């Protein structure tokens, strides 16, 4: 199980962070809310067809559906809208990724209270080392004369709060087996449906649903729908069943350095020595946070 879980974590890290690149690639063709709406409307359609063909489409009732709707809106609609809104207003993707990387600390602080899974001391140390690596890699790139407003630099904090709440809520549902937990594909369908229903409002009233269906945008949508929203999110919720919330959240520390590596590979962005150093330090921190508690005294 350890090996399969470790493999899933590596695949999840790669796919998850590719979403930053693909989404930024699509921003010239559709605004943040519109792009995210099309993403989840498309995903909902794909899952609806799949579940109908396989005879597994079902309405579980409001008691089971309501928390799934909440997880979907938080983990998809709010998280992505906050991130893309900042990027669309000139905040570098690396800075957004740095702010989002605060999520593991918030998750670790609240995990014991919400899920009953206390965070051992060695894991806090790992989280601290991971954040140090992230800060080194990203803050070295910060332009103090950046023209983006202070407001849009703080918007990703909404993504931090949303993903933390979604992770803890999903983990609590997994631990409390007396609550009905929907199959992963059915759950993702209702999460996507709720996200699209929420996003249609700002997409229409703020951005007028303006979309340039250029082939490049279409390709970006296919990637974020199938590789990221379908596969990566499925991996994330499968990992929530296997590992505790803090351990899962520690993987997000690798986001900023990996996003920079992908930017270098796909867009020719300059890769600084501090990027590689930060990636190494973050990797050490994540490795420490991933250790099992039985190997430590605390």
Quote the CA–CA distance of 288 and 122 in Å, as a whole number: 7
How many domains does the chain divide into? 1
Contact 69, 211 (CB under 8 A): no
Contact 175, 115 (CB under 8 A): yes
- Where do the H-state alpha helices sit in 101-155? 103-115, 121-139, 150-154
Contact 216, 29 (CB under 8 A): yes
What confidence category does residue 31 fall into, taking pLDDT thresholds of 50, 70 and 90? very high
Task: Write out pLDDT tens, residues 213-241.
Answer: 999 999 999 999 999 988 887 787 788 77
* Most confident of the ranges 2-6, 112-116, 197-201, 269-273: 197-201
What single string gives the DSSP state of each residue in 222-239?
HIIIIIIIIIIHHHHHHH
Task: Write out pLDDT tens, residues 275-292.
Answer: 778 878 877 877 777 666
Between 144 and 211, residue with greater pLDDT: 211
CA 142 to chain centre: 22
What confidence category does residue 146 fall into, taking pLDDT thresholds of 50, 70 and 90? low
Contact 202, 31 (CB under 8 A): no
Quote the CA–CA distance of 179 and 20 in Å, as a whole number: 34
Which range of residues forms the domain containing residue 271?
A: 2-295
């Amino acid at each position: 199980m350890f090996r399969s879980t470790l493999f899933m974590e590596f695949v999840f890290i790669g796919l998850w962070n590719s979403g930053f690149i693909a989404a930024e690639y699509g921003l010239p063709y559709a605004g943040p809310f519109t792009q995210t709406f099309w993403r989840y409307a498309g995903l909902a359609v794909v899952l609806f067809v799949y579940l109908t063909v396989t005879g597994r489409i079902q309405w579980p009732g409001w008691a089971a559906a309501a928390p799934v709707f909440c997880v979907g809106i938080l983990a998809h609609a709010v998280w992505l809208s906050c991130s893309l809104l900042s990027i669309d207003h000139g905040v570098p993707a690396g800075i957004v990724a740095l702010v989002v990387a605060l999520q593991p600390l918030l998750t670790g602080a609240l995990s014991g209270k919400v899920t009953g899974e206390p965070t051992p001391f060695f894991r806090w140390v790992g989280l601290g080392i991971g954040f140090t690596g992230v800060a080194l890699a990203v803050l070295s790139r910060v332009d103090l004369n950046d023209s983006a407003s202070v407001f849009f630099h703080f918007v990703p904090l909404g993504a931090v709060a949303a993903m933390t709440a979604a992770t803890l809520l999903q983990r609590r549902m997994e631990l409390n087996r007396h609550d009905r937990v929907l199959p992963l594909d059915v759950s993702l369908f209702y999460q996507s449906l709720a996200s699209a229903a929420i996003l249609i409002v700002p997409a229409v009233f703020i951005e007028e649903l303006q979309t340039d269906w250029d082939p490049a945008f279409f390709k970006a949508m296919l990637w974020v729908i199938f590789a990221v929203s379908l596969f990566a999110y499925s991996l994330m919720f499968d990992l929530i069943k296997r590992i505790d919330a803090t351990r899962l959240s520690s993987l997000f520390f690798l986001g900023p350095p990996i996003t920079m590596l992908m930017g270098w590979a796909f867009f020719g962005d300059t890769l600084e020595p501090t990027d590689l150093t930060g990636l190494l330090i973050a990797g050490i921190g994540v490795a420490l946070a991933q250790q099992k508690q039985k190997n430590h005294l605390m």
